Amino acid sequence: MRERLGDTFDPIAVPDLPTPDPDLDRSVAELRRLREAIAGLAHSEVELGDIADRLAEAADLLEPRVPEPARRLEAMWTGAGSRRANPVGGPENPIAPPVRFFGCDDGSVTAEVTLGLAYQGPPGCVHGGISALIIDHMMGFANHWGGRYGMTAHYEIDYRSPTPLLRPLTFRSWVDEVDGRKTWTKATIHAGDRLCVEARGLFLEASVAVPGHPDRRSTVGDGA
Ligand SMILES: CCCCCCCC/C=C\CCCCCCCC(=O)SCCNC(=O)CCNC(=O)[C@H](O)C(C)(C)COP(=O)(O)OP(=O)(O)OC[C@H]1O[C@@H](n2cnc3c(N)ncnc32)[C@H](O)[C@@H]1OP(=O)(O)O
């Protein structure tokens, strides 16, 4: 059995996601297409003057309408936390790589993603910081799937072999050990059968103040 994570979240219940704004999701999807297209352009192969003007026009239209960041932050932490806006897979976040997470019967969480040129580090390979970003976030999912939560206190990562761009990658994470407030969580990235990355993180139960809600604290990942 595999369960798509993020929309609902057993075994730790989280509030429902806010109703999506279809036009916001669509804008982000279009921005992602642009991001991949622009990252893939070779110099001088396409005449970009007109495109740059049109992008500037869209940005000029948008910028004056953007509310203060404090207002956006407050909205993000109302109801379902920042799940829709987070930088890994968040449908409202243009920089988010398009990762989908699944919870498995064996207690692990898997994710599948193919990363494009915008995420390049070494030639033809995924930037190590991008791998780390996805792993950190995914460990948070694995903790929840295992009935735990917490903030990342420490994590270590071993890059065992190059992680290819433009090929399906399988991420996997699971809770390895628990002790009081501490949760140790492991994760791997594979390209086919080849191990590319392995990591281990320490998460500590903790809470942080919720922006715009002085009376509330969030346990990070609880969607409080
Ligand atoms: C997003 C919302 C989604 C909602 C939807 C839910 C479903 C989805 C689920 C999930 C997806 C989301 C997943 C998110 C993932 C993102 C994760 C992050 O990016 S977290 C940001 C980065 N991390 C920080 O900013 C922490 C900063 N650090 C701190 O605030 C503190 O250091 C803290 C709270 C971690 C610990 O501080 P203390 O004061 O509570 O604890 P002390 O007393 O220092 O330590 C307690 C024990 O832990 C050990 N310890 C502490 N830090 C350690 C370290 N770095 N290394 C090793 N041991 C450490 C200590 O030695 C001590 O151990 P002894 O009890 O004595 O055995």
Q: Is 23 exposed, middle or buried (0-12, 13-18, 19+ CB in 10 A)?
A: exposed
Q: What is the pLDDT of residues 17-55, one digit of tens each?
A: 667 789 998 999 999 999 988 888 878 778 889 999 999
Residue 53, domain member (yes or no): yes
Contact 189, 170 (CB under 8 A): yes
Domain encompassing residue 120? 13-218
Residue 42, domain member (yes or no): yes
Residue 91, domain member (yes or no): yes
CA gap 88, 83 in Å, rounded? 9
Q: What is the pLDDT of residues 104-158, one digit of tens each?
A: 888 899 998 999 999 999 999 999 999 999 999 999 989 988 889 889 999 999 9
Contact 150, 205 (CB under 8 A): yes
Name the residue of 7, 151, 156, 200 to mutate for ligand 1: max ligand atoms within 8 A of Cβ: 151
Residue 8, domain member (yes or no): no
Closest CA to ligand 1's atom 31: 153
Residue 1, domain member (yes or no): no
Residue 5, domain member (yes or no): no
Cα 180 to averaged position of ligand 1 atoms, centre (Å): 13
Cα 6 to averaged position of ligand 1 atoms, centre (Å): 21
Residue 224, domain member (yes or no): no
Give the ipTM: 0.91
Closest CA to ligand 1's atom 59: 153
Which residue type is seen at 42? A
Share in percent of the chain as helix, strand, coil (round to 5): 30, 30, 40
Domains contained in the chain, number? 1
144 Cβ below 6 A of ligand 1: yes
202 Cβ below 6 A of ligand 1: yes
CA gap 212, 97 in Å, rounded? 28
In angstroms, the first-to-last Cα distance of the chain is 28
Assessment of whether the complete model's pTM goes beyond 0.90: no
Cα 28 to averaged position of ligand 1 atoms, centre (Å): 31
Contact 171, 99 (CB under 8 A): yes
Counting from 1 in the atom list of ligand 1, the atom nearest the Cα of 180 is 65
CATH number of the CATH domain containing 181: 3.10.129.10
